[in-house]
Structure 1
Amino acid sequence: MRVGLTLYGSLDEQSGGFRYDRKLVEGLRDAGDTVECIQLPWRDYHRGLLDNGSRKLRRRLDVEVDVMLQDELAHPSLVRTNRALPYPIVSIVHHLRASEPRRLAPLYRAVEQRYLGTVQGVVCNSTTTRGVVTDLGVNANNTVVAPPAGDRFAPEVDRSTVEQRATTEPLQVVFIGNVTPRKGLDTLVDGVAKADADIELSVVGRPVDAAHVTAVRNRVRERGLDDRVQFTGRLPDAELASRLRSSHVLAVPSRYEGFGIVYLEGMSFGLPAIATRAGGAPDIVTDGETGKLIDPDDSAAVARGLERFATDRDRLAEMGWAARRSYEAHPDWEMTVARVRGLLSDIAQPAEVPA
């Protein structure tokens, strides 16, 4: 097949969504397909909507492909543009803006619903995402759930390693993610402060939202946690892997995740996760078995979960090993690409046969 991929930014970006797109392109090419990437400049939301009147954009997208993949993140620039394009379109939905608790959520929902009405198929990263997509009117028969693999690190971890680590003090908790309100770091800090246990927290990630970073740092200081909370910023993969290997629990009580690949990456090191029920995390984390699922903004539940991990080290080891086994059973990239390829084959327009 001749496949296109339209996205904002570059495939070299480091977030989970871009890694997914990158691995998908690699897998399609390995399967013998040609893939042409059309990288659009980053836009804020309103500027992206204005792109729909751009003839220059339409000319860039006028390429010869059998089917076009589009990263849904770029939907503001494509919501009307798509209607003029000459090929079938399959959208890759990592995370819908309409799913987040935002002030403008009704606007995002209306625009995303209209955008999804212009595509012939949707690749969803979780069953939760597929549910949101179908609620917006997409026929479930035109969707496929193709979760990302969590093999960014692929560490060698055995049961004895998990059990031995569980005996060390104090409880080491790691948060990984961009420091933005959606990720729930403020809830986690409050949970650490409320927990009656010896806990140290490492915060790994880019400080994306300056006001939120300041608010969280103030929270740390006000709750007397300066000597227990470390902000590392973003770490190279080798240092991040070392941090995960020495931690006990991954805690990202996000207010919403389309999938949450970070939980799977933590589980590859045998770390149980603290996550929320909002979004796709329940596809990965089984409450009481491989981690703890809580409601968003429930810092008391975070505290209870951390206390249980800190005081019951046998349970910590048991859940850590269950997390590792769950990671090992998760679909790999080959399976994910095969699912996407099957949908593309069903939707791709047949090549014209010369007379």
Structure 2
Amino acid sequence: MKVGLVVYGDLEPRSGGYRYDRRLVEGLRERGDRVDVISLPETSRARSFAHNLSGRLVRDLDRSFDVLLQDELCHPSLVGLNRRLDREYPIVSIVHHLRASELSGLSRRLSCELERAYLSTVDAVICNSRPTRAAVAELTDTPGLIAWPGVDRFEGFPTDAEITARAQRDPFEVVFVGNLLPRKGLDTLLGALAGVERDWHLTVVGDESGPAYAREVRDLVRREGLADRVEFTGWLDDGNLAARLGSAHLLAVPSIHEGFGIVYLEGMAFGLPALASASGGASDLVTDGKTGHLVAPGDERAIARAVDRLATDRDRLAAMSLAARRRYERHPTWDAVGERIRAFLEHRVARANQSPA
């Protein structure tokens, strides 16, 4: 197949969504497909609407593709542009999560209508979780596929015996992995941990993508007197990140919303229960009370209770850690995910090529 993929910027794996897109491209190319990446300029959300008026972008997309993939994140740039295309190929949108899912009130309603308008211009969707698919179904009846992100990022995982022994060590090690952005909920986690009396330590791994927010959380650490219990590492390469995950007890990323939350799965590879958002796709991965805890966005008390319980009951922690590892082992690989997506794309291409009845 000749495939196009529309994204903002490049495919450097700065987030789970970009890693998903990148692995999809790699998988298609490994199977002999040609994939052209069409990079849209990264700009403010308001300025991205101007892309819909671009003649150059229309020409970039008016090619002889068999199928055009679009990262749904680009919907402000494509909601009008798609209607200008003189195309015979199907458009398939890759939906990691709807932006409306992060918002509330009027902002949410406006975002819903914008995303509804965009989704009306595509022929099918690929969603990364059942909750994401359900959210899309509220906006459109466009056919779709649920394709979880695959796993195979790390190597050298601890054994069951090492996971069990680790559970008895002090202090209780919590790790947060994610870009420092408000929607990731680091401030909520810090507020919760400030109220936990047990001996704990938090490692924060991630780029300071939002400088103002990064200053805010660092100020919070100072105000709460937590400077000796919280470490900010910045971005880490996979080797150093694996070392941090391998020595921790709990992965905690209490986001406002996660379309899937691949970081939870990556933590489970190391036998880490996940403290995850109850909003979004984490419920596809995390069984509350068995492989981790699902908490409502912003619920500091629920986070504090979960941390305190695991820090106190180390036998329970060991059992949940092993259950998390088993959940990881059952998860499909990227190779299996790629096969499912490619079969879905071939089906969409075949339908588009059918002669009218």
CA distance in structure 2 between the aligned counterparts of 1:296 and 1:160, rounded to whole angstroms = 34
- Check whether the contact 2:158–2:246 (CA below 8 A) recurs between aligned residues: no
Structure 1 residues 114 and 352: CA distance shift in structure 2, 3 A: closer
- Write the deviation string for residues 127-171 of structure 1: whole angstroms up to 9, x where unpaired: 0100110001133xx110001013211333321010111111000
1:167-178 → structure 2 map (5 Å cutoff): 167-178=168-179
Query: What residue in structure 2 maps to residue 93 of structure 1?
Result: 95
- Check whether the contact 1:69–1:91 (CA below 8 A) recurs between aligned residues: yes
Query: What residue in structure 2 maps to residue 132 of structure 1?
Result: 135
Query: What residue in structure 2 maps to residue 74 of structure 1?
Result: 74
Q: Which of 113, 117, 139 does residue 116 from structure 2 map onto? A: 113
CA distance in structure 2 between the aligned counterparts of 1:34 and 1:231, rounded to whole angstroms = 41
1:179-328 → structure 2 map (5 Å cutoff): 179-328=180-329
SS of 1:95 mapped into structure 2: coil
CA distance in structure 2 between the aligned counterparts of 1:37 and 1:211, rounded to whole angstroms = 32
SS of 2:197 mapped into structure 1: coil
CA distance in structure 1 between the aligned counterparts of 2:353 and 2:283, rounded to whole angstroms = 41
- Check whether the contact 1:254–1:275 (CA below 8 A) recurs between aligned residues: yes
**Over the residues paired in the alignment, what is the CA RMSD in angstroms?**
1.6
- Write the deviation string for residues 81-112 of structure 1: whole angstroms up to 9, x where unpaired: 11222121000001211110256322221111
- Check whether the contact 1:155–1:268 (CA below 8 A) recurs between aligned residues: no
Query: What residue in structure 2 maps to residue 343 of structure 1?
Result: 344
SS of 2:220 mapped into structure 1: helix
CA distance in structure 1 between the aligned counterparts of 2:11 and 2:235, rounded to whole angstroms = 19
Query: Which sections of structure 2, spanning at least 5 residues, go unmatched?
Result: none
* Amino acid paired to 2:98: L
CA distance in structure 2 between the aligned counterparts of 1:275 and 1:336, rounded to whole angstroms = 23
Structure 1 residues 343 and 167: CA distance shift in structure 2, 3 A: same
SS of 1:104 mapped into structure 2: helix
- Check whether the contact 1:159–1:321 (CA below 8 A) recurs between aligned residues: yes
Query: What residue in structure 2 maps to residue 104 of structure 1?
Result: 107
* Amino acid paired to 2:100: A
CA distance in structure 2 between the aligned counterparts of 1:232 and 1:209, rounded to whole angstroms = 15
- Check whether the contact 1:174–1:204 (CA below 8 A) recurs between aligned residues: yes
* Amino acid paired to 1:16: G
* Amino acid paired to 2:48: G
- Write the deviation string for residues 237-267 of structure 1: whole angstroms up to 9, x where unpaired: 1111111111110000111001100000000
CA distance in structure 2 between the aligned counterparts of 1:118 and 1:347, rounded to whole angstroms = 15
Query: Which sections of structure 1, spanning at least 5 residues, go unmatched?
Result: none
Once the two structures are TM-superposed, the CA of residue 352 in structure 1 deviates from its matched residue by: 10
Tell me whether 115-124 or 44-53 shows the greater mean CA deviation. Answer: 44-53
- Check whether the contact 2:28–2:35 (CA below 8 A) recurs between aligned residues: yes
SS of 1:37 mapped into structure 2: strand
- Check whether the contact 2:13–2:22 (CA below 8 A) recurs between aligned residues: no
CA distance in structure 2 between the aligned counterparts of 1:275 and 1:351, rounded to whole angstroms = 43
Q: Which runs of 4+ in 1 moved over 4 A?
A: 349-353
Tell me whether 72-81 or 151-160 shows the greater mean CA deviation. Answer: 151-160
CA distance in structure 1 between the aligned counterparts of 2:155 and 2:239, rounded to whole angstroms = 12
* Amino acid paired to 1:198: D
Q: TM-score, normalised by structure 2?
A: 0.95
- Write the deviation string for residues 190-218 of structure 1: whole angstroms up to 9, x where unpaired: 11111121110011111122222222122
- Write the deviation string for residues 27-83 of structure 1: whole angstroms up to 9, x where unpaired: 112223222221121121111111111111101111111111111111111111112
* Amino acid paired to 1:204: V
Percentage identity across paired residues of the two chains? 52
CA distance in structure 1 between the aligned counterparts of 2:199 and 2:116, rounded to whole angstroms = 47
Once the two structures are TM-superposed, the CA of residue 13 in structure 1 deviates from its matched residue by: 3.8
